[in-house]
Structure 1
């Protein structure tokens, strides 16, 4: 059965309230509608077997606190019996919204992240795969979608963990080989998206609600609160007082500077992933050597049309082992660019393909995002104090939220990044309000 067949089958699932009495969700924190009957109905429609019966169902959160802030991920193992008597196991990941948390739901609403991600998986990624097949490139870049449920803002995927894919250690970061592997796949995604947008007359340009955008400032409490917490921490270090003052002075203009990164500029533009970091990559490691042999990019809630710099600066300044974060970015950008430009040429991209030098100049105009990611995002993603690590702590301004943001800068790894990079960013003018 094809993916489109499965999507159609999933859409045909009756609403649970018309089929079964009210029952408890499969585990305590699951959405109220995510019940055994819901999963059973989905499987019956997928396998076209109305006698299919679940005999055992194990559901649990796929990630812990501090591992994910963009939705609820549930890992399921279903044991079921088919109508012909055969027994079968299925392994799934279900991604859902924060529908039970009104604050989270209302904060995210202007970003439209769940509808966007569903449309990306259903409509865009299959087209990008088709473009790669045009040039005989069969490398898998994305997880295949099993089902899309627009009514409940839910996606169902095969659980790639069963095939040996796991999430890398966010606290350790990626080594050079794995970073190159992810950038190779990112380059192909970017190149095919540029070609698709060219062939379909701007179809991707409607994706304009990235982390920073011209429609909403709802995430300002997170970004501004983190910068204020960083300023407080840095002010305690002798010799760094000037950087603390500059960070605090950025607060009134910070959101505007971020929006300029996401504004479409002259040059090659692409569909950026928008949140490409360690926890949005699944990796298969060689069982003998322990080295990465494959990687899959997941989670497209913040996909946005714009500069490749959005993903490059975010990934390179959030997800690498510290030495590569600080010293090997130019090498990795060159690696990305070689694959990016080569894929554009193979697909007969009609617009101008920049030289490597000109590509660096295009990236330079978006350098604020490198500073933002290193100083702001890195502290969140490498945070080790996870008791209060949730979406509300990021987005609210109460004392609990302030305490959480301050705790993010207790991490010695984060402090080292700030100590080493603040002088660099200052010399580049990226701490100035008039940049």
Structure 2
């Protein structure tokens, strides 16, 4: 076994659960026992090990047993994946999203007299965390890291089918929540610059995805990606442009010459905002007979997986979401309307937060897209292959290697999305 294929066993223990729950919930909690099982299917998650845990506990001095369903997020078992996702850094980023960003977002909205129905509520309930054996968030995360959150499935939230994509109702709902999320960080930047620096920017600290890759591996990933795209007839005339975009991206990252985030739009960006990283809730009383959620409009949603947040342009999240997560044909019909919906919501939230919206006009937003989106092209293209992958035949996370990670997987779903994506970028002058 090569060093990069090295595996470790990651697990959560009774002592972990008791210590963290005592610290976050109640110092009198005594964990009696617990059960755990994998929460995700092969291919659904690479950057962490996610377990569904049921904790059985009582409070000191009582005998009544309580059950608490939670999610435990641990580091990947594979050394390759831990290095690929820079887990030493990215694990702490997610912890800060729950302990820094979520409370500041809530506080700002309460100060600005948002009603409870108006307040953005896209973070799962947090039940505690430990980043390393020293229990020090300012030190790098290690193999003992654990993050505890509510199990959203027990709260009525559901994940949608990634290969099918989201219909218009879900896309519109998600885009409005995303615009609200971005606007809150921009408002903190304008209204509370010190809080923004200490909390939001700290959550967006730098990391390096793929830092274990050498030159040969990078060239292989580019070559493989171009070969996948060549199987999409509509993209063949643009192969040279696509190759140039991928090589330019690698060169800029290697030489660290990426342009700084553009102001004033720069904000906290989720950076992995697609179907698998969101869950929806529905009003059961609206349609009790039809279980097909595609026919229902969601009433609430949660964002998950904040490991790779960055300080960047919000259009990166928006466009990444549109091209990775919408059902067939939706982008062709509704692209401009969805862009306008995002901008309208973004400005409305800033207005309600008492921010000057003049610098955020729709014209300025279009200029932002034209300036930023050429450099977002590689990010979307690389991720479309695993996002479109069929779960059949996917490896368990512990068995993932660099070769299996970058195999061709998406089939017809991949071809349709890449075709739509490339042609839209060409038509808008972004490629």
Q: TM-score range by the shorter chain?
A: 0.7 to 0.9
Alignment map for 1:393-412 (pairs within 5 Å): 396=402, 400-401=403-404, 405-409=406-410, 411-412=411-412
Alignment map for 1:237-386 (pairs within 5 Å): 241-256=236-251, 263-287=260-284, 288-289=286-287, 290=293, 291=296, 292-350=298-356, 352-368=358-374, 371-385=377-391
Tell me the number of residue pairs that the alignment of Structure 1 and Structure 2 aligns: 392
**Counterpart among 120, 126, 144 of residue 103 in structure 2:** 126
Q: How far off is 1:150 after superposition? A: 2.4
Indicate if the aligned counterparts of 1:145 and 1:158 stay in contact, CA closer than 8 A. yes
The yes-or-no answer on 1:31 pairing with 2:10 is yes
1:91 is matched with 69
1:21 is matched with none
Q: How far off is 1:330 after superposition? A: 1.7
Alpha carbons of 1:323 and 1:133: their partners in 2 closer, same or farther (altered >3 Å)?
A: farther
Q: How far off is 1:425 after superposition? A: 3.1
2:130 is matched with 149
Indicate if the aligned counterparts of 2:8 and 2:78 stay in contact, CA closer than 8 A. no
Return the TM-score normalized by structure 2: 0.80
1:113 is matched with 90
2:419 is matched with 419
Indicate if the aligned counterparts of 1:92 and 1:156 stay in contact, CA closer than 8 A. yes
Partner SS for 2:149: strand
1:71 is matched with 48
Q: How far off is 1:344 after superposition? A: 1.1
Alignment map for 1:199-210 (pairs within 5 Å): 199-201=192-194, 203=197, 204-205=200-201, 207-209=204-206
Return the TM-score normalized by structure 1: 0.79
Deviation by residue 1:91-132 (Cα, 9 ceiling, x = unmatched): 10111222x433332333388111111122111220011112
Higher relative CO (CA 8 A, sep ≥ 6), structure 1 or 2? 2
Q: Which moved more, 1:357-366 or 1:101-110?
A: 101-110
Alpha carbons of 1:283 and 1:44: their partners in 2 closer, same or farther (altered >3 Å)?
A: same
Indicate if the aligned counterparts of 1:195 and 1:344 stay in contact, CA closer than 8 A. yes
Q: Which moved more, 1:125-134 or 1:203-212?
A: 203-212
Following the alignment from structure 1 to structure 2, what is the Cα–Cα distance between the partners of residues 179 and 260? Answer: 34
Q: How far off is 1:242 after superposition? A: 3.2
The yes-or-no answer on 1:54 pairing with 2:32 is yes
Following the alignment from structure 1 to structure 2, what is the Cα–Cα distance between the partners of residues 390 and 39? Answer: 25
Indicate if the aligned counterparts of 1:383 and 1:408 stay in contact, CA closer than 8 A. yes
Q: How far off is 1:357 after superposition? A: 2.2
Q: Which moved more, 1:238-247 or 1:310-319?
A: 238-247
Partner SS for 2:393: coil
Q: Which moved more, 1:236-245 or 1:175-184?
A: 236-245
Indicate if the aligned counterparts of 1:264 and 1:307 stay in contact, CA closer than 8 A. yes
1:19 is matched with none
What stretches of structure 1 move > 4 A for 4+ residues in a row?
210-213, 216-227, 236-240, 256-262, 388-395, 427-431
Partner SS for 1:275: coil
Following the alignment from structure 1 to structure 2, what is the Cα–Cα distance between the partners of residues 412 and 343? Answer: 39
Following the alignment from structure 1 to structure 2, what is the Cα–Cα distance between the partners of residues 80 and 375? Answer: 46
- Could you say what the CA RMSD is over the residues aligned between the two structures, in angstroms? 3.3
Following the alignment from structure 2 to structure 1, what is the Cα–Cα distance between the partners of residues 367 and 69? Answer: 46
Following the alignment from structure 1 to structure 2, what is the Cα–Cα distance between the partners of residues 117 and 342? Answer: 28
Partner SS for 1:318: helix
2:139 is matched with none
Alpha carbons of 1:43 and 1:234: their partners in 2 closer, same or farther (altered >3 Å)?
A: closer
The yes-or-no answer on 1:192 pairing with 2:191 is no
Q: How far off is 1:388 after superposition? A: 4.3
Indicate if the aligned counterparts of 2:21 and 2:128 stay in contact, CA closer than 8 A. no
Following the alignment from structure 2 to structure 1, what is the Cα–Cα distance between the partners of residues 259 and 275? Answer: 21
Partner SS for 2:242: helix
Following the alignment from structure 1 to structure 2, what is the Cα–Cα distance between the partners of residues 116 and 346? Answer: 28
Q: How far off is 1:30 after superposition? A: 6.0
Contiguous gaps of at least 5 residues in structure 1: 1-27
Indicate if the aligned counterparts of 1:281 and 1:296 stay in contact, CA closer than 8 A. yes
